[in-house]
Structure 1
């Protein structure tokens, strides 16, 4: 059977991407460990499901097998089973970790699918999962021994349902960050729209610093399996269309939160393209998205604010950036115990002299740093009521977009004359809390729908780019 144009285009790009001294016959395969992560607000449990050899070689940088970024609610380590030598590690977060802070987790046990991916080892290994304790230090919570030669390792997989499209090919995968953009809710007739959405949104990503300056450190791939109807499910509006990845709105009861809880569906599609990071584009007009560090992010591709959604949610997934806003309702809670957050862009400011971004703070800058907080919060009270009313009445999305525009205009007008507008300091209000958490600048893409990251977030993104590309 002959290869179609899209397939030929992909394999030519892939051969080019892997054609380097680092990607020869010695390039390891990609091993994936699928497991169940279950429990409630007080306890968690793990159970191995299966071990899979993915169809493509390991795309990672062999020069950086160990993660020293201290990001994520969890960390996994892969060690030689005999010698104990640490071979690979990565920080990450999970949907379970978010869910267990919700009210439901106080009374219900739930299980979530998760996966860990790492270079295929030559010998048996021990995989260890660590989680943050009350002081935000990593402590072991699970370990499992994996023998890559075991008879029950899955080695034969079905053919790729579709071939990925090479959107940006800047060199060998081992030396680049591989970003895979998956489409969900696109029909066969909308495949052209999917590719156009990918190109538009990835172009926007690389117009935002520091992605702009580091664009050549990325490869971008696109992959989508056609669905029978446009869009992904939105149960709060009675819309339950099929989803290729399991992505849907209304996660944890939040009308704008879009995730997939079907890890198996997502991974079994993603494995047919080189990837280290994934953004799922849902073919919906309604505002929404989500991002889990080290797992995936999502964005509504057809919304008026898709550019912002794509970058903001990718900031969560790629660099572990915290949300800096605090006036929008969220399902999960920060809790009464507040250790210094691991996220690089928020702080409790218990010790101003040890502020995590102190190298950017000019001498004499007051900590905390003043900003028009009272006026902002007064506006937000009325704004959030109007926003909730629009959703409850299921008004046209254009009315929500217009409200967002008015909010941004008000915020810009309020902030821009303030003497601390460009100052780097410690501004109270972040991490979903009005008090006790601080952000580094008055305005940032992680705080509101502005168009640029603050300096601290730019640094945090650059650190992860270096981990995967240099």
Structure 2
């Protein structure tokens, strides 16, 4: 554990708590189907711990997320707080199920307690990528029906990496699910191991002292989380599971209330859930949480890749692996900073990196890559259908990574920043900045554009350097 000079964790926490406002959480229901959505407020709570964020960094100007929420003074309209985010509901809307029925998902908005009544609004991007209001509710955080005190859970966070007062740091909470009481030491070791790995990856490495990392877990009766496609069902405090939306490797929890009730016992702005399983899997929702299988051979990669989604709003750059989402066939410009539909090559998102000599689109050995990927995906499906051991799948993953890395290393534009077709789950029509990146395959590094996107998000939470 790293501590600020001459300060204990308790002293840091005490100084932060003395000056910070309370934390408000608005829980609401987000429901609908593929073509409609509705919102309804459920409750307003004051969380047990003070606001962990920097009050000088209240307004989000990063332009990330499908949605954004704003907190405004109810009388003057002054903008007091804003953050971009995405939702599980938004992902579900693109699945086959959403075309057949309506579902409801619980979501939460958290912000520092205001002194007066406020209007809380949710905005959503339109087809032109502009945020437009879709729902608002007036909130008086001093009203009688606001939940101001909750039973003591007895949960105490483990300080994994503490660099200073929460107001001056990015607070990441690592949560565990599927760890029995006898495995609590394993959870702490997993959390420390993966936090340590995060700080070996640029740009997190260079910003290690801008982070606090905490860990918390509620023991489960059985080891591991549910994996319905294999008939495995385990009860757990967070309800994390595989097979979300029918995608076997996709791990999420749909129990937002359980997540928030446990998380509120630690200072946090971001959450990564470790599931105590060996089977490869994970997930990440911008501004909500990310997940990773802690005992997988690929846990280091999963932890960083999925955190890239959750923390920085990075898009997946791969396009050959199966996903739960259904393509609409449209090629609108994505909001994510690392992929583009390249409607206007002269205004490419990352044009500051381009050389005048770089062709757009930028050629790469796509045909060879695609042919090998089809063979790889066929073998992957065969292993899964035969219920082969996870070790065989890991060998396949490693072989595929070595094959693609060798192919890309020999390509003429290996170190070029351009626009390489194939990204955002689509083989054509979307482009990524570099041939290889941790958001493209299971490699170890972010590309330059992703590094900038991560650094910009860190800047949103920590004070400017003198």
Question: In the alignment, what sits opposite 1:218?
Answer: 211
Match of 2:52 in 1: 59
Match of 1:422 in 2: 415
Is the partner of 1:163 in helix, strand or coil?
coil
SS in 1 for 2:396: helix
Show the 5 A alignment for 1:211-290.
211-290=204-283
Which position in structure 2 is the counterpart of 1:437?
A: 430
- From the superposition, tell whether residues 317 and 24 of structure 1 become closer, same or farther in structure 2 (CA, over 3 Å): closer
TM-score (norm 2): 0.97
Taking the TM superposition and a 5 Å limit, the aligned residue runs for 1:391-406 are 391-406=384-399
TM-score by length of 1: 0.96
Which has the larger displacement, 384-393 or 187-196? Answer: 384-393
Instruction: State the 1:162 CA deviation.
Output: 2.2
The reply to whether residue 40 of structure 1 matches residue 39 of structure 2 is no
What does residue 3 of structure 2 align with? none
CA–CA separation in structure 1 for the residues paired with 2:83 and 2:59: 7
When structure 1 is superposed on structure 2, of 308-317 and 25-34 the one drifting more is 25-34
CA deviations 1:311-350 (Å, max 9, x no partner) are 0000000000000000011111342332211000000111
Deviation at 1:160, TM superposition (A): 2.6
Please say if residues 27 and 106 of structure 2, whose CA atoms lie closer than 8 Å, have aligned partners that are also in contact. Answer: yes
Counterpart CA distance in 2 for 1:417 and 1:151 is 67
* Equivalent position to 2:11, from 13, 16, 22: 16
Matched with 1:370 is 363
- Kept in 1: contact 2:163–2:210 (CA 8 A): yes
Give yes or no for contact 1:182–1:278 (8 Å, CA) kept in 2: yes
Deviations 1:8-32 (A, max 9, x none): xxxx965333355xx3644200000
2:172 to 179, 183, 189: 179
Give the counterpart of 2:299 among 300, 306, 310: 306
CA distance in 2 between counterparts of 1:146 and 1:157 reads 19
Match runs of 1:32-111 below 5 Å: 32-111=25-104
CA contact 1:186–1:229 (8 Å) conserved in 2: yes
Pair 1:457-2:450 in alignment: yes
* Helix, strand or coil at the partner of 1:247: coil
Bigger Cα displacement from structure 2, 376-385 vs 153-162: 153-162
For the 8 Å contact 2:17–2:50, the answer to whether it is kept is: no
Contact 1:41 1:101 (C-alpha < 8 Å) held by counterparts: yes
1:28 is matched with which residue?
21
Cα shift at 1:80:
0.5
The list of structure 1 runs, each at least 4 consecutive aligned residues, that deviate by more than 6 angstroms after superposition, is none
- Aligned residue for 1:3? none
Q: Does residue 414 of structure 2 align to residue 446 of structure 1?
A: no
Q: Is the 8 A contact 1:129 1:142 kept in 2?
A: yes
Name the SS of the counterpart of 1:214 in structure 2.
helix
Deviation at 1:244, TM superposition (A): 1.3
Q: Does the CA contact (< 8 Å) of 1:13 and 1:169 recur in 2?
A: no
Structure 1 residue 444: Cα displacement: 0.2
Looking at structure 2, the residues matched to 337 and 377 of structure 1 have their Cα atoms a distance apart, in angstroms, of 22
Q: Deviations over 1:105-149 (max 9, x none)?
A: 112100001000000111110000001111221110000000111
Unaligned stretches of 5+ residues in structure 2? 1-6
Structure 1 segments unaligned to the other structure (5+ residues): 1-11
SS in 2 for 1:259: coil
Supply the distance in 1 between the matched residues of 2:289 and 2:371 (Cα, whole angstroms): 34
| Residue 349, structure 1, aligned to residue 358, structure 2 | no
State the secondary structure of the residue aligned to 2:98.
helix
SS for the counterpart of 1:318 is helix
Q: 1:188-242, CA deviations, whole angstroms, 9 ceiling, x for partnerless residues?
A: 0001100110111111111000000000000000001110000000000111011
Q: Is this contact kept in 1: 2:30–2:40, CA < 8 A?
A: yes
Q: 1:24 to 1:239 in 2, by over 3 A?
A: closer
SS in 2 for 1:346: coil
State the partner residue of 1:293. Answer: 286
Counterpart of 1:281 in 2: which secondary structure? strand
